[in-house]
Amino acid sequence: MTKRKRTKRRLWSVARIAHPLHPDFVLRVTELKAGENLYVVRMVGGKQSMTVLDPRVTRLDLGSNEQAQRAGATARAVISHHHDPGILTRMTHPGG
């Protein structure tokens, strides 16, 4: 009996997205499972703080090619934080 080769599909992300109003606030947009919702990630106190990108979108919702997807992810990350200004506080000070 031969073993089946397990291949992991590489997960997609856009790193180092700087917030235009808060340049020290750097985000990353990533997918945790291929083809599922995208998340906004930030390091807070040495730990990852993660929230689902709002409105909920997948990588394919952002565009048909890599360039459009990266531009869409960057724009959505910044826009989602403009609609919810408290997220800056929640992601910087968890539980606050």
pTM metric for this prediction: 0.71
75 in Cβ contact with 68 (< 8 Å): no
CA 38, 43, 46, 52 dihedral sign is: negative
End-to-end CA distance of the chain: 55
Rounded Cα distance, 29 and 70, in Å: 9
More confident site: 42 or 33: 33
More confident site: 15 or 96: 15
Residue in 76, 64, 65, 84 with CA at minimum distance from that of residue 30: 76
pLDDT of residue 21: 76
Rounded Cα distance, 96 and 90, in Å: 6
